[in-house]
Structure 1
Amino acid sequence: MDMRGARVLVAGATGVLGGAITAELVGRGARPALAGRDPARLAAAARSHGSVPTVLFDAYDPASCARAVHTVVAELGGLDAVVTVFGSVGFGSVDEVGDEVAEHLMAVNFLAPAAFFRAALGVMRPGSLIAAVTGVVAERPQPGMADYSASKAALSAWLGAVRREARTAGVRVLDIRPGHMDTGFADRPVVGAAPPLPAGADVDKVVAAVVDAMASDAELLRTSADGTPVTERRAR
């Protein structure tokens, strides 16, 4: 995919990682549209990139995610890529987390991104892309993060199945599984407190690798033990 002029919806654009991905896309000539839940933060993010299009959504309302896609399609005249960069985290043993928080994590981390992609796949043309940040926990679930890991693994599994469906339509699916990054995400759990975490990977390097992967034929991006981003053309 040529990023110059590419119409890209960034869902979660007001976060640290989403904002960095947006800036990288703009630097490469893409035409982003920003989706978020906070009107003030969304407007500020748009101003920093020359007043790009914005749309509100609520991750707890899948219908609003689908509406966001259709609003951006009308605004930009189509979509070449959708990337979801939002989520929620919870820490603690399974009895501490409880069913209500587990339901919340599954809704925000799996059902909401799936709603974005389900709507996008209905309007995308061959050569388009859907991409989601699932994280290393999607393949290596961690104790004290069972429900968070499960919600991300569910999204990753869904992407894996959709990938095989979407290939026939010429739409690529990219699963982004970076390790821990110091974005402040772990400091805002819905329950519990973060355990000791390893040193965070370099956000700028990961973001550059994400957009490189979007531009290439990659289907999977992960970070190696030393934090170096690694892409794979075919996801396993």
Structure 2
Amino acid sequence: MTELRGAVVLVTGASGGLGSRLAAQLTERGAVVVRAGRAGGSLQGPGAYVADLREPTGAASLIAAALQAHGRLDGIVVAAGVVAFGPADAVADDTLAELVDTNLLAPIRLLRHGAEALAASAAEGRDPFVVTISGVVAESPTAGMAAYSAAKAGLAAYVGAASREFRRRGVRLVDARPGHTGTALSEHPIAGSAPAFGAALDPDAVAARIVQAIADGEKDLPSTAF
């Protein structure tokens, strides 16, 4: 079991449909949540920070802000992401770059820059963790979303390999792969238009499942867990 009360947890994408719910539910469990979002978003007030995770310096700035504010870091939840739709042979370079920078490189940089602080948390007797959300497309790449699927599958592969390294330092990595979830993400793609997905998962239930997995010490959340 992971004690969330008093844990300092950085949540990226905290103004989004799933990230906001994760931040709220972690707060309800007693965690000290450092909320992060992109400039121009709806985040306000103490404990809220702005960074562009497409930029190489964005992840480092958020880790530094959390440490400066609280002196330690016990968890990271990566809920920031973008989506695009369209034919595999028609994805533009700027769309491809944003998909990869936001969905793959940003989480890698967050883990890289947060590793030392998370290991220090483990050394002090806590149970630090990182949660990424690659989604069901990491398991079942989807036509019309090839580039998005590739970025998310790359994230799942990175976490699968990195988790073996991080666990030696007492840090648990968890990748969550829920199916299509009823947030506004698909309504605001960076390119293309969303197809008809059918019934969506309840975002409150998805967030609750992820938070429960953190508390229960789970190590993986495949699509079947939702």
**Residues 3-47 of structure 1, C-alpha deviation per residue, up to 9 Å, x if partnerless?**
11111000110111111111101111111011111356110xx4x
In structure 2, what is the equivalent of residue 137 of structure 1?
A: 137
Q: How does 1:43-192 map to 2 (within 5 A)?
A: 43=44, 46=45, 51=46, 53-124=47-118, 125-126=121-122, 127-192=127-192
* 1:144 CA drift (Å): 0.6
* Structure 2 counterpart SS, 1:131: strand
Matched, 1:30 2:19: no
Q: Is the 8 A contact 2:15 2:37 kept in 1?
A: yes
* 1:100 CA drift (Å): 2.9
Q: Is the 8 A contact 2:176 2:223 kept in 1?
A: no
Q: Is the 8 A contact 2:96 2:147 kept in 1?
A: yes
Q: TM-score, normalised by structure 2?
A: 0.93
* Structure 1 counterpart SS, 2:9: strand
* Structure 1 counterpart SS, 2:173: strand
Q: Is the 8 A contact 2:139 2:153 kept in 1?
A: yes
Amino acid at match of 1:181: T
* 1:223 CA drift (Å): 3.7
**Residues 98-121 of structure 1, C-alpha deviation per residue, up to 9 Å, x if partnerless?**
333212211111001111111111
Q: Is the 8 A contact 2:135 2:223 kept in 1?
A: no
Where relative contact order (Cα < 8 A, 6+ residues apart) is larger, the structure is 2
**Residues 191-231 of structure 1, C-alpha deviation per residue, up to 9 Å, x if partnerless?**
1111110210111111111101111221111343xxx62xx
Q: Tell me, in whole angstroms, the C-alpha distance in 1 between the residues paired with 2:171 and 2:207.
A: 22
The verdict on how the C-alpha distance between 1:151 and 1:40 changes in structure 2, with shifts beyond 3 A counting, is closer
Same amino acid, percent of matched pairs = 38
Gaps in structure 1 of 5+ consecutive residues? 230-236
* 1:62 CA drift (Å): 2.2
In structure 2, what is the equivalent of residue 212 of structure 1?
A: 212
Q: Tell me, in whole angstroms, the C-alpha distance in 2 between the residues paired with 1:39 and 1:30.
A: 26
Q: How many residues align?
A: 219
Matched, 1:197 2:191: no
Q: Tell me, in whole angstroms, the C-alpha distance in 2 between the residues paired with 1:19 and 1:104.
A: 22
* Structure 2 counterpart SS, 1:3: coil
**Mean CA deviation greater in 94-103 or 61-70:** 94-103
**Residues 92-139 of structure 1, C-alpha deviation per residue, up to 9 Å, x if partnerless?**
112221333212211111001111111111221322111111100011
* 1:188 CA drift (Å): 0.8
Q: TM-score, normalised by structure 1?
A: 0.89
Gaps in structure 2 of 5+ consecutive residues? none
In structure 2, what is the equivalent of residue 232 of structure 1?
A: none
* 1:56 CA drift (Å): 1.3
Q: Tell me, in whole angstroms, the C-alpha distance in 1 between the residues paired with 2:153 and 2:223.
A: 17
* 1:166 CA drift (Å): 0.5
Q: Tell me, in whole angstroms, the C-alpha distance in 2 between the residues paired with 1:40 and 1:168.
A: 37
Runs (4+) of structure 1 moved beyond 6 Å?
none
